[in-house]
Amino acid sequence: MWDALFHHCDRARTRRFAELFEADPDRAARFSAAADELLFDYSKTNIDAETRAALIDLCDRAGLAGRRDAMFSGARVNETEGRAVLHSALRNLDGGAVAVDGVDVMPGVRDTLDRMRAFARAVREGAVEAPGGTITDVVNIGIGGSDLGPMMAARALSPYRDGPRCHFVSNVDGAHVADTLARLDARRTLVIVASKTFTTLETMTNAETARAWLQERGGDVARQCVALSSAVDRASAFGIPAERVFGFEDWVGGRYSLWGPIGLSVMLAVGPGRFDEMLRGGQAMDDHFRAAPWERNLPVLLALVGLWHAQVCGYATRAVLPYEQRLEHLPAYLQQLEMESNGKRVAMDGTPLEAPSGPVIWGAPGTNGQHAFYQLIHQGTQVVPCEFMLGAQGHERDLAHHHALLAANCLAQARALMLGRSLEEARARMAGAGLEGAELERQARHRVFPGNRPSTLLLYPQLTPFVLGQIVALYEHRVFVEGVILGINSFDQWGVELGKELATELAPMVEGRAPVRGQDGSTVGALDYLRARSG
């Protein structure tokens, strides 16, 4: 089904993006789509109307509508694990019943959300006290989706924080937990342990260190620890009472779990009302995804542009470039969301994929990235599709001139990527600088920008809780659409397992509790080095 698109790509390679705008003065409007006040502009790509039609045809060939409806209805679309995929139910504030095996899951979702709200209000109002008084700080201990999602959201919504300060610990490197706890008061800190099974090695190692820290410095584990887990018995054995355990079902994957108990730290920081606004933003994107035609559907268009660049044009990476400092953790969050979901090599039936799977996702906030890696994006030999994000206004109204410069930089970078600078233009510049002959030619060639480098632009009014919810849900559904069209399961992550198994096997050898056996020469050499110098 890709042959027609490969033909379009071959035909388009020599075409300048700027020519598309010259031929169609309304191109920007024709190659943009909106959902509420989000505007997605993909006109600075080499996609024309015929190519778009061929891309949209992929949706129908893959049965996207049926798979989408099956996911929202509670069908077990995670086929390799035999699970439903219902993170959307966590933000289904206004919807009806959602059944899994004939049982409506919404009463349980609402009950858990109500418990979260009540607990968050109690902490924020000072009704939950630690030995030192009211809670001033929250430490969320998790890893992967139990860390990246809430850390990203807490930072993004920091203008709305009117509750405890949030800190996040994920790395099993002892420096992470030590540096975080060192600046906190153990008698006024709430520790959240986020692990569905309460067995995740990194999380539980850090949790045990935090528990010892509380006990040694006058804290109270039962009053100052919360578990985000389905393993009530294990949490109880850790010292956390059942009323402080907030569980979630196996139909919520870790990287899709921000909307429920994993988001408790965010709710504590910004309050239940603001958290609900984020849920409503996600719900609004769900409604849009389910109702909008493919040619106006933001998740579908975002996915199709991604497929065009990665699977058809062969661009191996994708840069996420939010011109919003408070979205500094979004690229890392999307790294996990997209690469753990679609970094697969076989189709749903176990056969090898016909097309390459997902690209490498990376990025950083503008304008910092401009002084780091944009050189490669503009003049490097690899083409890197860029996804720019920009709000119409920031939260610092008295610093509006900062935001104007930020916006100007974002738009300028997208325009520079498209237009580039020809050798003739570079020669003219060097001649104007007084150069001539061989030196003019040499200097001019260093100043050539190929241009014709694709980018998209996602515009939003302001980074509010509602808008953040829209953006996160937009990317979740984008991943789903790409997965359906590629024929893969976006909701398992078997590639994570092998490394975990081998780490469990190696840990006793590193610590000297077991002899070194069954390892390759390189690993044996590294073990010898570490054991000799570890003290």
**Active-site residues: which are they?**
340, 371, 500
Contact by Cβ (8 Å): 191, 209: no
- Partners of 381 in the beta sheet? none
3-state SS of 455-504 is EEEEEECCCCHHHHHHHHHHHHHHHHHHHHHHCCCCCCCHHHHHHHHHHH
* Residue appearing with tokens 């190692």: 205
Contact by Cβ (8 Å): 217, 187: yes
Please give the Cα distance from 204 to 142 (Å, whole number).
8
Q: Are strands 137-141 and 165-169 parallel, antiparallel or unpaired?
A: parallel
Please give the Cα distance from 199 to 304 (Å, whole number).
38
DSSP 359: P
- Count of residues making up the chain: 535
The answer, yes or no, to whether the previous bond of 209 is cis (omega within 30 of 0) is no
Please give the Cα distance from 520 to 528 (Å, whole number).
12
Contact by Cβ (8 Å): 47, 305: yes
* Residue appearing with tokens 């509602």: 466
Element (H, E) at 507: helix 497-511
User: Helix 201-216 and helix 497-511: axis angle, to 10°?
Assistant: 50
Task: Annotate 103-142 with b (16+ C-beta within 10 A) or e (fewer).
Answer: eebeeebeebbebbbebbbebbeeebebebeebbbbbbbb
Please give the Cα distance from 269 to 282 (Å, whole number).
19
Contact by Cβ (8 Å): 146, 254: yes
- Answer left, alpha or beta for residue 435, where phi above 0 means left and psi between -120 and 50 means alpha: beta
Q: State the alpha helices, DSSP H only, in 312-459.
A: 330-335, 341-342, 374-379, 400-419, 423-432, 437-446
Contact by Cβ (8 Å): 310, 318: yes
**R_g of the chain computed on alpha carbons:** 25
Contact by Cβ (8 Å): 490, 342: yes
Contact by Cβ (8 Å): 377, 386: yes
